[in-house]
Structure 1
Amino acid sequence: MRVWADFTIEQDDDGRPVLALSGPLTVSSIGVVDRALRERGGEIAAIDLAAVPEIDTVGAWTVWRLLRDHNAELVGASNKAQRLIAAVSKSKGHGEQGAEQLPPAQRTAQGVGRLVATWAQGAVQGIGFLGAVLVAWWSIVRSPSRMRWLAVVRQAELVGISALGIIGLMSFLVGIVIAQQGAVQLSQFGAEMLTVNLTGRIALRELGVLMTAIMVAGRSGSSFAAQIGTMKLTEEIDAMRTIGVSPVEALVIPRILASVVMMPLLGFYAAIAAIVGGAFISAFTLGIPFMTFLMRVQEVVPLHDVWVGLVKAPFFGLIVAMSGCYQGMQVKANAEEVGLRTTMAVVQAIFMVIVLDAFFAVFFTEVGWG
């Protein structure tokens, strides 16, 4: 049975009030006494610990606080109690302590250093993840029966077929905006007919595949991160390793393969939808017949523009899938981190896609496909 601490107020020979504590002064038994003493108030000339059989740092802190606040003297304390009270009395605390604030210059340098260290750690982890993917891919190449084709088909459906509606609508509207705004600017030079060139080339070469990659990153990349992150959190991935199933082969490779295969198809589909949107608005605002616009696109858009978009698409799909799967695999602590990693997957994928698109723009210009 637990014994609680207690106290009484007595008088010494000089008639001064003495606080006589009894029972164990430990973290598990001092709560009631501490609250009662805080509410009581009044003067205390001395604190008697003769009837205290046990004391810990919490009890010592309570006694020292009373000694300090009432300027009282300590009597009847054992050697252990005296040592503990002497130790806690060296503390400078007077309640909750906030973190020490460094000067702004030091805080800035500290933040930059922490960010650089995080980037370095992330780069090492990313290289390790890429190595794991390459090892898993080589294992599948050596033994094709290890490939989970049903999972690939399922992911291809989720990445590609299920996204046709939103990507088609988005690209159609973007095509309308490009054609309408381009026509407004070109009309100042009497070159409205060049709207066909503008819409066709920018849709097939750049915006079709770029906007598709951004949409897939927000739709499928986030889904990859959330799915794998939740599996990591619920220890399903650990269970897969326990029974001898490689999580990279079972979860990552099918998603990467589906994204790489479907991205060129989605990019070309998005480019066509954007051209149709441009033809649609041009029929109303420029007086260019719908079919004439489409036939004109075939004449003014060089074939290598189509190949530029198709060549970039698999790389964009690889980046989106790798980013989503990598961030999902990094989930460790709690459900909040699933949301954080999902956001990081989308931001990282979009950033890398735009950087790679800029690289491709310079590359294709240098090789004469500008």
Structure 2
Amino acid sequence: MGVDMTGYSIFVRPDLLQVFWTGMQAGEFITDAVLPIETSRRTGLRVLLDAGGVRPRRGRNLQGRCLSFTQREEIAVLRAQGQSLRQIAAAIGVSASTVSRELRRNTRPGTGYRATSAQVLAYQRASRPKPAKLHTNLALRARVEADLKKKYSPEQISGRLRRQFPDQWEMRVSPETIYQSLYVQSRGALKRDLTACLRTGRAVRRPSRKAGQRKNRVPDMINISERPKHVEDRAVPGNWEGDLIIGKGNRSAIGTLVERSTNYTMLIHLPDGYKAEQMRDALTAKIKTLPEALRHSLTWDQGTEMRDWKTVKVDAGIEIFFCDPHSPWQRGINENTNGLLRQYLPKGTDLSVYSETDLDWIAAELNDRPRKRLGFQKPIELIEDLLLQ
């Protein structure tokens, strides 16, 4: 993968990487695909780029043939407790000879058995890369490179070779082999810059998805184009814009609500995460603290955290609309407010450390700040009478 294997990292955990790739092939964004394995979007992007967008075979369908990292952790704990090989083997469901072999092979000299170092040693030992056909067959590689430069697709190249060399198996290559030789640089065959000759020109391969697979991330959403026209002029209070501020490693978040007419801001506490069900309950509870006169509409982006928007609409008594993809200007007041909030909640911060009281204090301070758009009035001055209804 082009990473340093001298230390323990997610790159020596094929079991976790396969979970990530399953999410990517299901059509998820990187941010969603890394959530089950509790790592950052940046790490997920690194995994994707190092593999050239091609899902590795390693780690699939092991069916108990190899010890898992969890089993290695159990071995380390039980070994430290002084239990015998047979006792350890019975506890993790393998034979005593498997435990004996694991301890003999994967214990670094001069140290006791540790799960992390054992995982690295086992990963390195299991790496037996087979030379790619296009790496060892120079004549075939030269032919494939020449055809790629002519803008032939891998399927066209493969089919033409079968037609021209029907009896020479050494001059056969499948389209998938060509793709993998282009995108997976560890195979050491074709140069990645030849990807520019492909029809897509992509430097990283993208998983194929069924038509419309990503369009239903938020089911049956109502587009902003259907929002009542009177919302646009901001004359009537009670129309809100909402979004998430994401914390360090995409592991925490805070919801933001901004009223379009007064710039009044409320912050949503999400201590347990920001999946759909957590967002649904927290958002509903926050909106219900408002009087009905201030619950006209809410405009959000198309994040998966709003999958349960219909429940929020009914329980909180508010109409909900969704912006077009990649159109933050359609929530301009909210985007501007999120920028101001970064003075209190800097990027790269673990947002889970903030309590609901902390967030209420930050919102109160922001609402007490005079705004140029409001003629230097304060949001709290403009909305206070309505809040008391």
Smaller-chain TM-score bracket = under 0.3
Whose relative contact order is higher, 1 or 2, with alpha carbons under 8 Å and at least 6 apart? Answer: 1
Q: Name the one with the larger helix percent.
A: 1
Larger Rg: 1
TM-score relative to the length of structure 2:
0.21
